[in-house]
Structure 1
């Protein structure tokens, strides 16, 4: 494989000197050996083409995924597990480490262990993975860790976006001309768009909290009774919490990433992929009640998802590579028009119990975005409990304000949904 990064991957790559890593951590009770873990990682690496590739830039500075049979195996760094919170410090440390070794693959693992409990921390650059990818990789690692003889079926890489989508989507000449025209418009837009602000020079951080199974179930019941999704209710809660803490500086908008696999059959649930189309949502303050606002958010999201032509978006975006450096600079230096990117991974399809160990906890992925506006909240559900991470940078959003937003959101959950979250 020698493939130029597609547009979404290219943006998340940033550049060769800027780390943009995602981290996914779990806690396991039970024993296993380093040999078993290396065997599991080897089989996972052999399954996924992107884990057998590195990123190399050509003479013009354009990054490519390049397969190599000289890459090392996925490295494992072993440390002592002293407390239940050690995974947090390790996650933040992994955000800052580049994947720049000449023979290193685009994944690594940190194994924190004591006599009975282990934390496994999987780290990948964001340009090769999304939340669904993380769940697939961790599922496979655990399966083979438990059953060392288990084999995983590999798949072929794609060498271009047209090659991936050719079976299900054809591009007309008119659409290509439109894409070329708007690519020129984009270059002009970013040429004159102000990027005078500086990217945050502070420290990235994240908050972590969880709703227990009883409270998570109560929230789901309240939402079902009202005819809204849990996601739309949480969007309203989060935007109100930002408004309460930030006041006139709140933007009143949330960005919703959508799993690309719901649109494109060629990208399977266990295929590594990094692009996610997005919908921007806001709350209609003209509506009086909380549930009316949540219903409108749900309707708006469904309407925007239904209108997404993701096949066309992926193909057309490939004509915008001439603007990608300007786009990245724009993200690095401007605050955007939203309060937060809010991703809901839903119920994680990872079993709790295996023959040789038990998965005690799974923590929603975290990411150290270098953007000027890095505000990101990820929620997932495991063992019936909703788990939240809130990632940001203290130069853009002081951690004290993030804590206040989190606390206000929990307070609003209690007020609006009449569920106790004390």
Structure 2
């Protein structure tokens, strides 16, 4: 018998509402999460595969498949043993792939690095497109040269939010070090027995862990909010759409700042008592408005989605090693016109977000937002030009902070890494994944192409940087 067909039912469970929404979204192209690592030392496919198997043993959700029963209910069906097989590409095959990507019609793809191109390629590989029973985790090793390799993990977002991806990176590197033996350096090494015991349970979905009473909303209030979200969505402003008919894919632009620029921006946030997410969102709105060259008196309404890691807010609270999707979303709208000042708008964006949090909207509106997302998936014509855009920009409440270039990274030859998710189905025009690497801001910005062009989004990102840096403490 095919061992892949022998899925244990013990520990398997139906998907929660948030996870089910991702299962609806991923076939259309939103919710493919990629964690890519660039190495200057051969990571060893066999060693990596063994480490990934250890990771799957510790976290059952990573060795599950998403399947459906005859009532169309989605389940995580857990395999009793890890079944992942790494797909390896030698120099020749990788070179052929990169060449084919260069011939794909994007005139600017030659300006981005092979590492960047592979990330975009992985974001657009969709084994879940037909919603058949499929693993939630895939892994590839690409050999760029005799001294450079890319390791890419591709996951269904229903099992991996940004916190999970960050934890997986750290844990995987530690496990590889342990299996590699020796080496020069510390930095930890994988999951201890106590933590393995903690994580061997199959965690519930976020809806089952919301504290009692926190998600309550009167029936009529829910109806009014749904109507409000729907009517507001019809008035949301967007960047100009370049091509609304061609098949879509996700593309990436990276924005990096130096330490001085980063320090100035973070200091301005601290002085005003706001988080970085407010400044990023405000810079995005101002940049979008500037690109339209509207009359000074004309106002436009933009939507911002802010994603919150709810782990510490749940009952019982979860930790970063509880792998799954435990983020919630807050939608806020802001009216913008020419001449907006960055920090005034950033403070306004953050105040609206905090008011929503204080009103428990990250819990009370969770089901409403999922319903609206599913309605957009089923009826794209309800969105402008059938674009499936639900907001202009999405940001995270807090950045990932990676302030140690550890000896472990040096020992393994880890030169760079990026993590993000696809957005070319339902979603924002631009999704910002922000990290602070060794005191420097690093933004991975994902957008749907050719709905938006690379030139257009590069202009947007460059304008955002000028706004942030130009106002960052002058």
Question: Following the alignment from structure 1 to structure 2, what is the Cα–Cα distance between the partners of residues 234 and 75?
Answer: 37
Specify whether residues 261 and 332 from structure 1 end up closer, same or farther in structure 2 by C-alpha distance, changes over 3 A only.
farther
- 1:109-188 correspondence to structure 2 within 5 Å: 109-113=139-143, 114-148=145-179, 150-152=190-192, 153=196, 154-158=199-203, 164=209, 168-169=211-212, 178=218
Matched, 1:277 2:322: no
1:262 maps onto 2:312 in alignment: yes
Q: Determine if the alignment matches structure 1 residue 53 to structure 2 residue 64.
A: yes
Residue 288 of structure 2 contacts residue 460 of structure 2 at CA under 8 Å; is this kept in 1? yes
Match of 1:348 in 2: 402
Secondary structure (helix, strand or coil) at the match of 2:399 reads: strand
Of 237-246 and 144-153, more deviation after overlay is shown by 144-153
Q: 1:362 aligns to what SS in structure 2?
A: strand
Q: Partner residue of 1:380?
A: 435
* Gap change, CA 1:116 and 1:324, over 3 Å in 2: closer
- Give unpaired runs (5+ residues) of structure 1: none
Alpha carbons 1:41, 1:74 under 8 Å: kept: no
Partner of 1:65: 76
CA shift in 2, pair 1:345/1:360, >3 Å? same
1:295-374 correspondence runs (5 A)? 295-308=347-360, 317=367, 325-326=374-375, 328-330=377-379, 334-335=383-384, 336=389, 338-343=391-396, 344-348=398-402, 352-354=406-408, 356-371=411-426, 373-374=428-429
Q: How far apart, in 1, do the equivalents of 2:78 and 2:400 lie? A: 33
Equivalent position of 1:6 in the other structure? 16
CA contact (8 A) 1:352 1:383 kept: no
Gaps of 5+ in 2: 1-10, 99-111, 180-188, 235-243
Q: Is the 8 A contact 1:237 1:413 kept in 2?
A: yes
Please show how residues 28-107 of structure 1 align to structure 2 within 5 Å: 28-69=39-80, 72-80=83-91, 85-100=113-128, 105-107=135-137
Q: State the distance in 2 between where 1:77 and 1:247 align.
A: 48
1:24 maps to what in 2?
35
Where 2:411 maps in the other structure, the secondary structure is coil
Comparing 204-213 with 113-122, which one deviates more in the overlay? Answer: 113-122
Normalising by structure 2, we get a TM-score of 0.72
Mapped contact 2:300–2:335 kept (Cα < 8 A): no
1:253 aligns with 2:303: yes
Q: Within the alignment, does 1:396 sit opposite 2:451 as a pair?
A: yes
Deviation at 1:131, TM superposition (A): 0.6
Measured after TM superposition, the shift of residue 132 of structure 1 is: 0.4
Deviation readout 1:261-295 (Å, 9 max, x if unpaired): 13114332111222422223455769974333322
Asked if 1:230 corresponds to 2:284, the answer is: no
Cα displacement (A) at 1:39: 1.8
Q: Are positions 1:408 and 2:458 aligned together?
A: no
The verdict on how the C-alpha distance between 1:161 and 1:116 changes in structure 2, with shifts beyond 3 A counting, is: closer
Shift of the 18–223 alpha-carbon distance from structure 1 to 2, 3 Å rule, reads closer
Note closer, same or farther for the CA distance 1:309–1:202 as it changes in structure 2 (3 Å cut). Answer: closer
Aligned counterpart for 1:108 among listed residues 138, 146, 160:
138
Closer, same or farther in 2 for the Cα pair 1:362/1:322, shift >3 Å? closer
Q: Which 10-residue stretch deviates more, 245-254 or 144-153?
A: 245-254
Contact 1:71 / 1:105 at 8 angstroms: preserved in 2? no
- Supply the distance in 2 between the matched residues of 1:293 and 1:65 (Cα, whole angstroms): 43
Q: Could you state the TM-score of these two structures normalised by the residue count of structure 1? A: 0.80
- How far apart, in 2, do the equivalents of 1:371 and 1:320 lie? 12
Preserved contact between residue 365 and residue 389 of structure 1 (Cα < 8 Å): yes
Shift of 1:121: 1.8
2:142 aligned counterpart, secondary structure:
strand
Distance 1:17 1:243, change over 3 A: closer
Q: CA 1:162 to 1:150, structure 2 compared with 1: closer, same or farther past 3 Å? A: closer
